[in-house]
Amino acid sequence: MLRGGAGETWWHRLTARPLPRMIYRDLERMERNLAASDTDWTVLGPPYLTNDPPAGRYRTAMDANVPGWSLARGDLARAMLDVLDRPATIRRAVGVGPN
């Protein structure tokens, strides 16, 4: 899952990541519940979302975060639609970030 910090910069792991511990605990519990279920699922993990116009491109990483501070909501929406056609994303966590 994404909570392990794979793909994050050393700076983010040391500064930003420790702050919202309660939020991460809830996310970890959700991801464990999904993994234990028989349901087909895909979790997308974006960075901070903005209301900026979509750039029309993004990067993904399987089971890891993508380095980057922010992503336009429109680019995340595009990524959500794109993973629907990718069987490799079923029962996987997909990090999404700026390109």
Residues 23-79: tens digit of each pLDDT? 677 878 888 899 999 999 999 999 999 999 999 999 999 998 898 889 999 999 999
Distance between CA atoms of residues 98 and 58, nearest Å: 5
Query: pTM for the complete prediction?
Result: 0.76
Tell me: pLDDT of 3 over 60. no
Three-state DSSP state, 1: coil
- Are the C-beta atoms of residues 10 and 67 closer than 8 Å to each other? no
